[in-house]
Structure 1
Amino acid sequence: MKALLALPALLLLTGAQSPKPLTPTDIVAKAPASAWKSIPPEDLLVIDYQGGGRSVIQLAPAFAPVHVANIRALARAGYWIGSSIYRVQDNYVAQWGVNDDGKPLPAGVVKRPPAEYVRSSQGLAIRPFPYRDSYAVRVGHTGGWPVARYRSADVSLTHCYGTVGVGRDLKPDTGTGGELYAVIGHAPRHLDRNIAIVGRVIEGIEQMSALPRGTEALGFYRQGVPGRAIASIRLASSMPAVARPSFQYMDEASASFTAYLRARANRQDDFYQVPAGGVDICNAPVPVRRTPAP
């Protein structure tokens, strides 16, 4: 018994310390293979730019199936070849497409998709987010996506940094998917339930966010000023297997994801003197990584 009582004193004398708390980056790096799920190549939209550079978007067919089907059809038809990023609004969005130049839509594209702004929560296994949200009754994650639930029990994806949505005119227009935007600033959650969210940028967001801001209203480039030219937009599934990118997201049902959220809300590494004790769903992005080599 005396030996056990002496142990704390021995630890003090020897300078032994408890392990440092893991940072969110540490947790992601140490997550086992079982904590990750593969993203199907049919859900990866690959943007290559003229002059070099690439962005990769993960599509969300479970939330906007008709719009995503349109996007896949547009990609297979080469619709965006020769298009550009023509709008970059500071702290808001970068937008690309043909800017309604009258280019005919390929066969199979639905010209007037339904308003896929929300969907029923039925059939979704939603992992509740442990912190309050300013816009929704509850927020959580399902299938690697951040979702918000409302009093109607409908859910929507959330406008966070990197979210990709469909440009549209005033209602009843819902957009075909030919004009897309990515959020490059503070999360504009007021857009939730007002526009079709079709995915998120999982790699190469800097190819959009670091562009010069448009000088015209809403960040459009002045007429005659070229935007960033797009060489091609393809589905990864249409690329040769040896050339296609491959990604995984962290499963929200895993212990690693639980630890990751806790660490995002309660930073205890050396820089932080006061842990926040909470986190916004957009400030705890679902970790995504390149698939490790076998």
Structure 2
Amino acid sequence: MIRLLSSALLTTIPTFAAIAADAPLPTTPSAVVSAAPAQAWRVIADEDLLVMTVADGKRVVIQIAPAFAPRHVANIRALASAHWWDGTSINRVQDNYVVQWGDATEKKPLPGGLTPTTSADYVRPLTNVRLAITPFPYADPYAPATGFVDGWPMAMDGDAAWLPHCYGYVGVGRNMAPDAGTGAELYTVIGQPPRQLDRNIAVVGRVIEGMANLSSLPRGSGDLGFYTAGERKVPIVSVRLASDLPAADRPHFQVMDVASPSFAAYLKLRANRKDDFYIRPAGGVDLCNAPVPIRATPPVKARR
């Protein structure tokens, strides 16, 4: 059974425990994020972080979403554990669209044990969404209903739910249907959110660190932005699950709790800016322009 949170959370700015009673409430989304108390944040598990190192030691960290794409994510974890992406490359950079990576030869053997996927894996039955949904109160042109679940934006239609193609979100490349991709060929959105791809390709995660290391790459001159023979593909040095890295090398991140008063205040201000800079509040915001805040955190020191 899905429990919907009260929409009142989205219509009032709550008082923050971290702000003194006589201090003014934050007037910008970034101020809300800075003032959010510790209880407004949730730790992202190590096994849900994919750490990709590209040329010159640059790092990209991807949060994967097993609750929304379980079979694709299981394959991605298996590929990372097998070090399959090591020595592959970024092969496509299409302006205002995507950066794509994988095996340019399409001949590298895949590790055993990968799970077959189908177009049914592009969505999740709402009956499988066991967590509370924080509703999004603004109309969406691509879905009858939208909201947030466990730190992720979600679009819904009847009994199905899916992750949207927002900036920085990661999808699985595929050939023509019924092929749904293994997870070996991945891409991330680097432009206007191509929401027309929703439910046509599996979205499996989002880049949460190092996005500039992808979006700033030279654009490919071939069809669809693929690098041609005369252009240098960007080498991928390694891809690892954070849980497979030595403890000292693991990145640590937290995502804002979408059921928290802090997120309600943040969401209201994303739609209704009226601070010193803004003249007219927009009165609304689209799903991809209200990214759930994520922050890097130092590792927790073990107690002696």
The answer to whether TM tops 0.5 is: yes
Letter in 2 for 1:135: Y
Q: Does 1:145 align with 2:152?
A: yes
| Higher mean C-alpha deviation, range 115-124 or range 135-144 | 115-124
Q: Distance in 1 between matches of 2:24 and 2:112?
A: 60
Counterpart selection for 1:276 from 251, 273, 282: 282
Q: Distance in 2 between matches of 1:99 and 1:124?
A: 39
CA contact (8 A) 2:252 2:299 kept: no
- Unmatched runs of 5 consecutive residues or more in structure 1: 1-17
Q: Does 1:135 align with 2:142?
A: yes
Aligned residue pairs total 275
Q: Does 1:79 align with 2:84?
A: yes
Counterpart selection for 2:188 from 142, 167, 182: 182
Counterpart selection for 1:113 from 106, 113, 117: 117
Letter in 2 for 1:71: I
Q: Distance in 1 between matches of 2:178 and 2:231?
A: 31
Q: Which residue of 2 aligns with 1:12?
A: none
Q: Which residue of 1 aligns with 2:215?
A: 209
Q: Does 1:44 align with 2:49?
A: yes
CA offset at residue 49 of structure 1? 1.2
Say which SS state the counterpart of residue 25 (structure 1) adopts.
Answer: helix
Q: Does 1:264 align with 2:270?
A: yes
CA offset at residue 80 of structure 1? 0.6
CA contact (8 A) 2:118 2:179 kept: no
CA contact (8 A) 1:94 1:184 kept: yes
**Runs of 4+ in structure 1 over 3 Å off:** 18-21
Q: Which residue of 2 aligns with 1:23?
A: 28
Q: Which residue of 2 aligns with 1:289?
A: 295
Root-mean-square deviation (Å): 1.3
Q: Does 1:126 align with 2:133?
A: yes
Q: Distance in 2 between matches of 1:293 and 1:181?
A: 29
Say which SS state the counterpart of residue 56 (structure 2) adopts.
Answer: coil
Q: Which residue of 2 aligns with 1:233?
A: 239
Q: Provide the identity percentage.
A: 60
Q: Distance in 1 between matches of 2:26 and 2:36?
A: 15
Could you give the per-residue CA deviations for residues 182-205 of structure 1, whole angstroms, max 9, x where no partner exists? 000011110111111110000111
- Unmatched runs of 5 consecutive residues or more in structure 2: 1-22
Q: Which residue of 2 aligns with 1:159?
A: 165
TM-score w.r.t. the length of structure 1 is: 0.91
Q: 1:20 to 1:269 in 2, by over 3 A?
A: farther
CA contact (8 A) 1:97 1:180 kept: yes
Say which SS state the counterpart of residue 242 (structure 1) adopts.
Answer: helix
CA contact (8 A) 2:271 2:282 kept: yes
Say which SS state the counterpart of residue 249 (structure 2) adopts.
Answer: coil
Could you give the per-residue CA deviations for residues 239-288 of structure 1, whole angstroms, max 9, x where no partner exists? 01111001010010000000000011011121111110100010010000
Letter in 1 for 2:28: T
Q: Which residue of 1 aligns with 2:229?
A: 223
Could you give the per-residue CA deviations for residues 56-91 of structure 1, whole angstroms, max 9, x where no partner exists? 000000111111011111101110111111100000
Could you give the per-residue CA deviations for residues 149-176 of structure 1, whole angstroms, max 9, x where no partner exists? 11x3211101100010000000011100
Q: Distance in 2 between matches of 1:156 and 1:30?
A: 31
Letter in 1 for 2:136: F
CA contact (8 A) 1:132 1:138 kept: yes
Larger C-alpha radius of gyration, 1 or 2? 1
CA contact (8 A) 1:20 1:269 kept: no
Could you give the per-residue CA deviations for residues 82-131 of structure 1, whole angstroms, max 9, x where no partner exists? 11111000000000010352111112122x31321111112242110011
